[in-house]
Chain A
Amino acid sequence: MITGMGAISPLGVGAEALWEGLREGRSGIGPLRHPDADRLKVKVAAQVPASFDPAANIDERTLPLLDRTSEFALHAAREAISQSGIDFSQPELGMRTAVVVGTGVGGETTQDEQSRRLYADNAQRVHPLSIVRLMTNASASQISIAYGLRGPTFAVASACASANHAIIQAAQMIRHGMVDAAVAGGTEACITYGAMRAWEAMRVMADDTCRPFSANRRGLVLGEGAGIFVLESLEHARARGAVILAELAGTGMTADATDIVMPNAIGASTAMTQALAEAGLAPQDVDYINAHGTGTLANDATETRAIRLSFGAHADRLTVSSTKSMHGHALGASGALELVAVIGALRDSVVPPTANLDKADPACDLDYVPNVARQMPVRAALSNSFAFGGLNAVLALKHAP
């Protein structure tokens, strides 16, 4: 059961800010704000607003230890834990709580800045806190320290599927009785000069905006942010009278085992089918899929085929939208931001749109809820992440029991 959620995203601070923005079809994509923007080919990105104050609500002794990824993660964790009402100061609960935070590349800002100082500026010394900032587990560790969480704690990495994999890992630990609760999600902040140049070199970046499933789509737009959730067993949630936001009813994890970048419809479809099976859902029970929908030529067509494989005739009755069209591709955080969207959809009976969808593509022929959100009941939903390396992680969500 999901009992708390928190987020920082290009649509603002807070899970509600993210959800409100998505249901209004607002774009978090804009001109790239970066000191080296004029040296970069890519001119657009989805960035957390400049008004975000990392120091707010973070102890001043902790702040110097944090890369941007951990600033995001801690803020989101604080919101989620506060919303859930869970009291981690209770004896034993800390020991029975896991912390699993997904990230694609961890403390990239720190890595990039220290490398620049060392190689370009010939700095005489590297900042002593560099390792503890950039290590991939930093966010998980900082959350554990902030809340006294002493159970299984680590980072999970699977590129664009990291957040879904982290949430699944946490849920499985609860399911198997290893822990009673978990703080899990994903974080990413990798809009640095080096990372942007590396992404540009792959020739998958859009130069206008993110147009998932549209015939004139030109690739992905990088995003950043974090989404963190409090997960609990049903018993634990009920015992303390927690408000349950949604049930994580099923999960699917597969690997394509075909290509290091090109997605595979079979691998993706199998992950969706697994999630449905574990959730006890028939295809016709699902009303909404939050797609991986990156806006690349490859993903969107392959994902469409994968959905048809898993859903058969019901595929044409589904709504499928990619909120990356509004919050960008936040890589290791994307599954977490997208889970906020799915929870919002379930709760408010509103399916967020696929923005910027202005030209239908014959290879993408499902109902993608173009441009305007749709008011409709959502009985159950899937959230897809299909990552580089052929890694697929799917969540199946239902209303609270």
Chain B
Amino acid sequence: MSDSTQQQIFEIIAKQAKIDLSTVKPESTLKDLGVESLDAIELIFDIEEHFNINFPEQQGASFDSDTVQSLVDAVQKELDNKAAAGEGSN
């Protein structure tokens, strides 16, 4: 369910950024949360591993302006794509 997906994503972000879960808001940018450059790439990796999805190439490249909400939306989109394609595990 979407709420649980969002919750999992928030937890992954909080862990990567080493911040309190309550600090993570949908409108926060990754830069706001102190997630920059390599950290952003690692975050994308963690999310991909956790949900077993593959983001399109440029995801995470604009860590200055990417919001947490945009990440959640991107994850949901990939999960929906996967479900529609009837994929199991990779």
Using Cβ atoms and an 8 Å threshold, which residues of chain A touch B57? 41, 203, 207
**Partner among B38, B44, B60 whose Cβ is within 8 Å of the Cβ of A260:** B38
Of B38, B45, B60, B61, the residue contacting A261 (CB under 8 A) is B38
- Which of A41-93 touch B at CB < 8 Å? 41
Enumerate A199-255 residues with CB–CB distance to B below 8 Å. 201-203, 207
Contact B58 A203 (CB under 8 A): yes
Min CB gap B39→A, angstroms: 11
A262 in the interface, Cβ–Cβ < 8 Å?
yes
Q: Which residues from 45 to 68 on chain B have a C-beta closer than 8 Å to any C-beta of chain A?
A: 45, 57-58, 60-61
User: Residues of B contacting A261 with CB < 8 Å?
Assistant: 37-38
Is A259 at the interface (CB under 8 A from chain B)?
yes
| B58: chain A residues within 8 A (beta carbon) | 203
- Contact B37–A201 (Cβ < 8 Å): no
| Given known A-B contacts A41-B57, A207-B57, A201 and B45 have beta carbons under 8 A apart | yes
The complex places the Cα of A262 from the Cα of B60 at a distance, in Å, of 15
Known: A41-B57, A207-B57. A259 touches B41 (CB 8 A): no
CB closest residue in chain B, given A200: B57
Give the residue of B37, B44, B45 whose beta carbon is less than 8 angstroms from that of A262.
Answer: B37
Name the CB-closest residue of A to B54: A41
Look across to chain A and name the residue whose beta carbon is closest to the beta carbon of B45.
A201
| A203–B57 alpha-carbon span in the complex (Å) | 7
Query: How far is B39's CA from A202's CA once the two chains are assembled, in angstroms?
Result: 11
For B44, list chain A residues within 8 Å (CB): 203
Q: Using Cβ atoms and an 8 Å threshold, which residues of chain B touch A203?
A: 41, 44, 57-58, 60-61
* CB proximity to A under 8 Å, residues B1-52: 37-38, 41, 44-45
Q: How far in angstroms is the closest Cβ of chain A from B15?
A: 19
B62 to chain A, nearest CB (A): 9
Considering only residues 275-318 of chain A, those with a C-beta below 8 Å from chain B are: 297
A87 to B72, CA, bound (A): 67
Q: Which residues of B lie under 8 Å from residue A201 when comparing CB positions?
A: 41, 45
Task: Count chain B CB atoms within 10 A of each CB in A201, A202, A203, A262 and give the residue with the most.
Answer: A203
**Chain B residue nearest in CB terms to A42:** B57
By beta carbon, the residue of chain B nearest A262 is B37
Expressed in whole angstroms, the Cα–Cα distance for A41 and B61 within the complex equals 16
Q: How far is the CA of A297 from the CA of B60 in the complex (A)?
A: 14
- Chain B min CB distance to A64 (Å): 38
Most central of B38, B41, B57, B61 by chain A CB within 10 Å: B57
CB nearest to A260 among chain B residues:
B38
Are B37 and A259 neighbours in the complex by a CB distance under 8 Å? Answer: yes
* Contact between A202 and B37, CB atoms less than 8 A apart: no
Query: What distance in Å separates the Cβ of A120 from its nearest Cβ neighbour in chain B?
Result: 17
| Interchain CA distance A34-B45 in the complex, whole Å | 25
Query: B61 to nearest A CB, angstroms?
Result: 6
CA separation between A260 and B57, bound complex, in Å? 22
**Cβ–Cβ < 8 Å partners of B37 in chain A:** 259, 261-262
Expressed in whole angstroms, the Cα–Cα distance for A363 and B89 within the complex equals: 44
In the complex, what's the smallest C-beta–C-beta distance from A121 to chain B, in angstroms? 21
Q: Which chain B residues border A262 with CB–CB below 8 Å? A: 37
Residues of B close to A202: CB separation below 8 A: 41
CA distance A240 to B60 in the complex (A): 58
A150-161 interface bits toward B, Cβ cutoff 8 Å, 1 = contact, 0 = none: 000000000000
Considering only CB atoms, which chain A residue lies closest to B48 in the complex? A201
User: Roughly how many angstroms separate A203 CA and B55 CA in the complex, as a whole number?
Assistant: 11
Chain B residues with Cβ below 8 Å from A207 are 57
Q: Which single residue of chain A is at the shortest CB-CB distance from B59?
A: A203
> A259–B41 Cα gap in the complex (Å)?
15
Top 5 A-B pairs ranked by shortest CB distance?
Answer: A262-B37, A261-B38, A203-B41, A203-B61, A202-B41
18 A–B pairs (Cβ distance < 8 Å), ordered by A: A41-B57, A201-B41, A201-B45, A202-B41, A203-B41, A203-B44, A203-B57, A203-B58, A203-B60, A203-B61, A207-B57, A259-B37, A259-B38, A260-B38, A261-B37, A261-B38, A262-B37, A297-B61
**Beyond A259-B38, A260-B38, 7 additional pairs, beta carbon < 8 A:** A201-B45, A202-B41, A203-B41, A203-B44, A203-B58, A261-B38, A297-B61
